[in-house]
């Protein structure tokens, strides 16, 4: 009930101040369970994705939103709890299994479940490789997946920026439901899970027009952070070596021992996802790789492995 109270208060304000737009809302079913799979551009996605829909959307939100300290943490916890968002521990293992079980309970109750297949916000506005949790949920719950694309959100509120840019009108686009009934019963097959996930990401890419990067967003963030740390270490080593050289009466041309730890790694190569119309047995290379997922295979799959 509090969800609708908050929405009734916030919706007019958001529409008046930010003038958001929406397309394709007719593709979201008015009744029954379904998954809304969206790209993730900024914190504002939590507001503008469900705004044009007449139904409540329950998002699996990262647990950090519920564990913060101070006034900011209190506000975050109160807001996300009041609008029915569910905290998810992303540490993997049993925590991921619990997240899957929570999502399945939401769908079993006939609700709309919102999920970000990339697993985290994009670091640079591009679309990154999807994790297979969305596929497991869709196949185990036997529900359609509605591709959703947030538009302009990265420019509207880039990472690290608190105040949004009023000159940018954020938008959201929904696509036709994706039916994966042909794969029901194969939710423990890693090749099938990758094929389903790639098809979801492909449809999000078609809606959003984003450049695709065949790399997990979290891994990309980690590599960038390591590169920054390596560059800083290299610069510090060069300064220390230079100072030592000067003290010794030399030219001070020592090299930095920590040069570029991770900083010289090449950028992820942008690729275009091939149309995933082909069955998994003949699917594209991304679909054949046995990549780690955000939600590990079910216990039955681990026993079989």
Tell me the per-residue pLDDT of 135-153, one tens digit each, with 9 for 90 and over.
999 999 999 999 999 999 8
The rounded Cα 82 to chain-centroid distance in angstroms is 22
pLDDT of residue 159: 75
**Whether residue 86 sits in one domain with residue 198:** yes
Q: Using alpha carbons, select from 122, 145, 150, 148 the residue that is nearest to residue 134.
A: 145
pLDDT above 70 (res 262): no
- Compute how many other C-beta atoms are within 10 angstroms of the C-beta atom of residue 79: 13
**Whether residue 186 sits in one domain with residue 291:** yes
pLDDT of residue 291: 40
Number of domains in the chain: 2
For residue 35, what are the β-bridge partners?
Answer: 113, 145
d(CA 206, CA 273): 10
Q: Choose the weakest-confidence range: 23-37, 76-90, 119-133, 197-211.
A: 76-90
**Residue 29: pLDDT band by 50, 70, 90 thresholds?**
very high
**Whether residue 193 sits in one domain with residue 154:** yes
| List of residues 6+ apart from 292 with CB closer than 8 A | 131
CA angle 114/118/119 to nearest 5° reads 75
**Whether residue 154 sits in one domain with residue 14:** yes
**Whether residue 78 sits in one domain with residue 142:** yes
**Whether residue 186 sits in one domain with residue 262:** no
Domain that holds residue 102: 2-215+273-304
Q: What is the mean pLDDT of the chain?
A: 77
**Residue 263: pLDDT band by 50, 70, 90 thresholds?**
very low
d(CA 116, CA 131): 9
Q: Which of 95-104, 165-174, 266-275, 277-286 is modeled with the greatest confidence?
A: 165-174
Element (H, E) at 234: helix 217-247
**Whether residue 71 sits in one domain with residue 121:** yes
Contact 276, 283 (CB under 8 A): yes
**Whether residue 167 sits in one domain with residue 40:** yes
pLDDT above 90 (res 30): yes
The pair of three-digit structure tokens given for residue 27, joined into one six-digit string:
């593709």
Report the largest interatomic distance among the alpha carbons of the chain, rounded to a whole angstrom.
80
**Whether residue 292 sits in one domain with residue 149:** yes
Percent of the chain with pLDDT over 70: 67
Q: Using alpha carbons, select from 278, 305, 276 the residue that is nearest to residue 290.
A: 305
Q: Say which DSSP state 270 is in.
A: B
| List of residues 6+ apart from 264 with CB closer than 8 A | 227, 230
The pair of three-digit structure tokens given for residue 51, joined into one six-digit string:
């705004």
Calculate mean pLDDT across residues 194-212.
97
d(CA 122, CA 41): 6
Higher pLDDT, 251 or 63: 63
d(CA 199, CA 134): 11
Where are any strands of DSSP class E within 157-262?
171-174, 212-213
**Whether residue 249 sits in one domain with residue 188:** no
pTM of the model: 0.71
**122 φψ region: left (φ > 0), alpha (ψ -120 to 50), beta (else):** beta
Q: Could you tell me the CATH number of the domain that includes residue 18?
A: 3.40.1130
d(CA 267, CA 83): 38
For residue 60, what are the β-bridge partners?
Answer: 86
Q: Choose the weakest-confidence range: 93-102, 139-148, 194-203.
A: 93-102
For residue 61, what are the β-bridge partners?
Answer: 87
Q: Are strands 212-213 and 57-62 parallel, antiparallel or unpaired?
A: unpaired
**Whether residue 209 sits in one domain with residue 298:** yes
Burial 271-291, CB ≥16 within 10 A → b, else e: eebeebeeebeebbebbeeeb
pLDDT in tens, 209-230: 999 999 998 888 888 778 776 6
**Whether residue 178 sits in one domain with residue 261:** no
DSSP characters over 105-134:
HHHHTT-EEEE-TTSS--SSS-EEPPPTHH
pLDDT above 80 (res 269): no
């Amino acid at each position: 009930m509090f969800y609708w109270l908050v929405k009734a208060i916030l919706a007019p304000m958001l529409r008046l101040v930010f003038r958001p737009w929406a397309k394709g809302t007719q593709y979201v079913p008015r009744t029954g369970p379904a998954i809304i799979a969206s790209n993730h551009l900024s914190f504002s996605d939590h507001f503008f994705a469900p705004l044009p829909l007449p139904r409540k959307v329950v998002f699996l939100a990262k647990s950090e939103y519920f564990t913060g300290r101070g006034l900011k943490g209190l506000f975050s916890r109160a807001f996300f709890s009041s609008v029915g968002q569910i905290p998810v521990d992303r540490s993997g293992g049993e925590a991921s299994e619990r997240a899957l079980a929570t999502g399945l309970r939401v769908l079993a109750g006939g609700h709309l479940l919102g999920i970000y297949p990339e697993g985290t916000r994009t670091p640079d506005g591009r679309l990154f490789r999807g994790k297979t949790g969305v596929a497991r949920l869709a196949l185990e719950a036997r529900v359609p997946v509605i591709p959703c694309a947030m538009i302009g959100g990265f420019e509207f509120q880039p990472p690290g920026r608190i105040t949004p840019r009023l000159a940018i009108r954020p938008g959201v686009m929904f696509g036709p439901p994706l039916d994966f009934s042909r794969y029901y019963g194969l939710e423990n097959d890693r090749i099938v899970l990758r094929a389903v996930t790639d098809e979801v990401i492909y449809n999000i890419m078609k809606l959003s027009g984003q450049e695709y990067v065949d790399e997990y967003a979290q891994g990309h963030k980690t590599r960038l952070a390591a590169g920054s740390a390596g560059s800083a270490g290299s610069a510090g080593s060069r300064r220390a070596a230079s100072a030592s050289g000067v003290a010794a009466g030399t030219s001070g041309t020592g090299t930095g021992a920590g040069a570029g730890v991770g900083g010289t790694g090449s950028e992820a190569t942008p690729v275009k996802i091939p149309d995933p119309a082909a069955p998994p047995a003949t699917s594209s290379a991304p679909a054949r790789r046995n990549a780690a997922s955000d939600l590990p295979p079910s216990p039955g799959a681990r026993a079989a492995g």
